């Protein structure tokens, strides 16, 4: 039994009102001709209010006058799929949505308007924030087990007053960990002062740490407080302590052991009420064996040593760090970028990050500044032009094998990832990322 036209339209209206996604149609003049129930719920406008209005007056998105999905579909004849934008409801609340648009055609195939579907992403965004908060600890984010173990013991370490040594590659976040310890400690209301032991020549570094009295050296025309004095009652972070000259290592040892120091040119010693944290990316034990770092100082700062793994060893943190960085730089630069294109995300997951978290943050800041759309694409990332002798991507990324190639290599080595990575000429973390991208368990 065939439905008559009226019943057919009613049946279609019932179907459209039953779907969870918002749906509306427009004519060639961009006036709304259909508005389903979900569209009413998301925008706050009733069907009666919407019908006959220009869609930009009801469906108030951030792209209505710059890159309208329906107009783009009508102009190009191509569908627009899952474009993330913001829409203002009738109460001017901003709602993140995913939009798709297509051309509506008459029976002869002529364009007569457009149809747009949209999905409310508020719950997805809220869930993402909840997950991010779950894995956040004092401005540090990680779901890596080794990092989570560090998070677990930091409060206990912070509650004591012992010297702490952070070891880790450059850019892994040693200063952030030091800040977390200071903020969790009884000294939190006093200053955290940082001195980079490799940033100055020996003579200036001594004055920088210990301070100097007027006339102590040429050009010293007034008393100059050192970092120790500035950190009184708080915490002093000795960053890159492996670069500290041997002569200053002796003086630093005295301060850590006796909490006494003598500014340059001073006649009397001063007391230092300071908690010490040291950080380095160097092998201090090897330096002790080589005679370039004092053994007694090493033992004194090595009361509690916390090793921060490089980003290559915690690749599961990369998506979390990318989203955190995106939120940070969106706020800093007033942008509303919602995510990454599939190619950009594949590149970001596949990169080795020799500069660790610092490099990732710098890369993301650059991408947010350059991005002119709602999604960061490969054009916003530091790619090189492809040549016969160089990879298409700057840095440490090799050509990814196809899913079949990857499965063949893993099967050939009976699932042994170490052997598979060796055949591919990559490390295990890169192989893990490739497997994740291909959904290979």
User: Would you say how long the chain is, in residues?
Assistant: 441
Rounded CA gap, 400 and 430, in Å?
10
Most distant CA pair in the chain: distance in Å?
108
Cα separation, 84 vs 51, in Å, equals 24
Identical fold, 145-308 and 312-392: no
Q: State how beta strands 235-239 and 192-196 pair.
A: parallel
DSSP structure class, residue 223: -
Architecture of domain 5-120: 2-Layer Sandwich (3.30)
In this model, does residue 1 exceed pLDDT 60? Answer: no
47-53 LR contacts (CB < 8 Å, sep 24+): 50/24
CATH number of 145-308: 3.40.50.300
Query: pTM above the 0.85 mark?
Result: no
What is 312-392's CATH topology? Helicase, Ruva Protein; domain 3 (1.10.8)
Segment 130-147, tens digit of pLDDT: 655 566 778 888 888 899
Say how far apart CA 242 and CA 301 lie, in whole Å: 12
Extents of the domains making up the chain: 5-120, 145-308, 312-392, 398-441
**Per-residue model confidence (pLDDT) at position 7:** 58
Q: Is the pLDDT of residue 35 over 50?
A: yes
How far, in Å, CA of 432 to CA of 419, rounded? 13
User: What one-character-per-residue DSSP string does 158-223 give?
Assistant: HHS---EEEE--TTS-HHHHHHHHHHHSTTTTSPEEEEETTSS-HHHHHHHHH-B-TTSSTT--S-
Q: What is the DSSP letter of 393?
A: B
Q: What is the pLDDT of residue 321?
A: 92
- Comparing 421 with 320, the larger pLDDT belongs to 320
- Indicate the DSSP class of residue 372: -
What are the counts of helices (DSSP H) followed by strands (DSSP E) for the chain? 19, 17
346-392 per-position pLDDT tens digit = 889 888 898 999 999 999 999 999 998 888 999 999 875 333 333 33
Report the range out of 107-111, 155-159, 414-418 with the highest average pLDDT.
155-159
pLDDT at 59: 85
Q: How many CA atoms lie within 13 A of 252 on its CB side?
A: 34
DSSP letter (8 states) at residue 29? T
């Amino acid at each position: 039994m065939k439905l008559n036209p009226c019943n057919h339209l009613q049946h279609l209206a019932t179907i459209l009102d039953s779907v969870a996604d918002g749906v509306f149609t427009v004519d060639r003049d961009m006036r709304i001709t259909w508005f389903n129930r979900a569209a009413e719920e998301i925008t706050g406008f009733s069907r009666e209010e919407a019908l006959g209005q220009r869609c930009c007056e009801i469906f108030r998105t951030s792209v209505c006058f710059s890159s309208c999905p329906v107009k783009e579909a009508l102009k190009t004849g191509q569908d627009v799929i899952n474009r993330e934008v913001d829409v203002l409801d009738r109460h001017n609340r901003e709602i993140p949505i995913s939009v798709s648009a297509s051309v509506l055609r008459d029976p002869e195939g002529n364009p007569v308007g457009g149809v747009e579907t949209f999905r409310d992403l508020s719950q997805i965004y809220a869930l993402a924030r909840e997950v991010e908060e779950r894995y956040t600890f004092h401005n540090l984010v990680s779901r890596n087990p080794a990092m989570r173990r560090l998070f677990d013991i930091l409060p206990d370490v912070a509650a004591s007053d012992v010297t702490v040594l952070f070891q880790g590659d450059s850019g892994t976040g040693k200063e952030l960990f030091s800040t977390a310890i200071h903020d969790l400690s009884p000294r939190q209301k006093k200053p955290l002062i940082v001195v980079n032991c490799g940033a100055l020549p020996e003579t200036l570094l001594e004055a920088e740490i210990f301070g100097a009295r007027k006339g102590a050296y040429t050009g010293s025309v007034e008393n100059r407080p050192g970092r120790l004095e500035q950190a009184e009652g708080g915490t002093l972070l000795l960053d890159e302590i492996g670069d500290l000259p041997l002569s200053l290592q002796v003086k630093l040892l005295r301060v850590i052991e006796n909490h006494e120091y003598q500014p340059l040119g001073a006649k009397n010693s001063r007391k230092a009420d300071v908690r010490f944290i040291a950080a380095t990316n160097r092998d201090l034990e090897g330096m002790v064996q080589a005679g370039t770092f004092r053994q007694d100082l090493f033992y004194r700062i090595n009361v509690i040593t916390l090793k921060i793994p490089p980003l290559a060893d915690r690749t599961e943190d990369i998506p979390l760090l990318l989203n955190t960085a995106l939120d940070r730089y969106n706020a800093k630069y007033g942008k509303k970028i919602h995510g990454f294109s599939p190619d950009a995300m594949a590149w970001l997951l596949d990169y080795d990050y020799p500069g660790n978290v610092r490099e990732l943050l710098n890369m993301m800041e650059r991408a947010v500044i350059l991005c002119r759309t709602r999604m960061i694409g490969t054009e916003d990332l530091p790619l090189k032009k492809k040549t016969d002798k160089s990879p298409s991507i700057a840095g440490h990324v090799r050509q990814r094998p196809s899913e079949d190639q990857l499965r063949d290599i893993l099967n050939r080595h009976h699932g042994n990832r170490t052997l598979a990575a060796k055949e591919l000429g990559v490390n295990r973390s890169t192989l893990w990322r490739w497997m994740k991208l291909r959904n290979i368990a």
